[in-house]
């Protein structure tokens, strides 16, 4: 079974995959196929856990390829904390793509934090709509990571070192600087 961790970014996806690194019966990676196109973009091996916020831009293709056969995790974090983290990265990555591409440069009076909020609300809505008919899914809140990860572990039948996986949540992976 494939597992996809759908998220906006800036919400713990790197840590999620670090924790999954302690699972023996699944492979796991973070944004491992994000630079590929065509059929290769979604050609994940069986029993693989993938976290990639860019999947939220291609949910129609993800549905065609995996549909209700995969397990989906909706990873999220407090919207203000997520927006603050994105605002620190306004000139590159998803924030630059959203402002310059989707918003066609936006407007001068639009602040980075407000653009981040708009992006987050858009992506969260896309994920919620995608998941509405999926039978194997779970919500996962960064603020409740250790408890939610235990539930995730049980639901997917993970084998490995749960204590080491939970310890990853005590480390700040890929944090935005001040």
Confidence of residue 178 (pLDDT cuts 50, 70, 90): very low
Query: What would the mean pLDDT of 147-154 be, rounded to a whole number?
Result: 98
Confidence of residue 70 (pLDDT cuts 50, 70, 90): very high
Query: What would the mean pLDDT of 68-94 be, rounded to a whole number?
Result: 94
Q: Are 157 and 25 in contact (CB under 8 A)?
A: yes
List pLDDT tens digits, range 27-44: 999 999 999 999 999 999
Percent of the chain past pLDDT 70, that is, above it, reads 97
| 3-170: CATH class | alpha beta
Match 């196929």 to its residue by tokens. 33
Nearest to 5 by CA among 66, 67, 72: 72
pLDDT of residue 48 exceeding 60, the answer is yes
What is this structure's pTM?
Answer: 0.95
Query: If DSSP states are collapsed to H, E and C, what string results for 124-163?
Result: HHHHHHHHCCCCCEEEEEHHHHHHHHHHHHHHHCCCECHH
């Amino acid at each position: 079974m494939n597992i996809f961790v759908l998220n906006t970014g800036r919400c713990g996806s790197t840590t999620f995959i670090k924790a999954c690194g302690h699972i023996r019966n699944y492979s796991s990676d973070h944004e491992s196929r994000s630079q590929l196109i065509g059929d290769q973009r979604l050609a994940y091996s069986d029993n693989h856990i993938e976290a990639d916020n860019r999947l939220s831009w291609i949910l129609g293709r993800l549905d065609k390829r995996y549909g209700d056969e995969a397990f989906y995790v909706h990873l999220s974090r407090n919207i203000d904390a997520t927006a603050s983290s994105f605002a620190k990265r306004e000139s590159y990555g998803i924030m630059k793509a959203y402002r310059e591409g989707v918003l066609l440069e936006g407007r001068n009076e639009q602040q980075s934090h407000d653009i981040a909020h708009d992006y987050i609300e858009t992506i969260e809505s896309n994920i919620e709509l995608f998941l509405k008919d999926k039978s194997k899914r779970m919500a996962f809140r960064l603020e409740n990571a250790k408890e939610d990860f235990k539930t995730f572990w049980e639901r997917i039948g993970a084998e490995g070192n749960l204590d080491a996986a939970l310890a990853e949540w005590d480390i700040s992976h890929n944090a935005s600087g001040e």
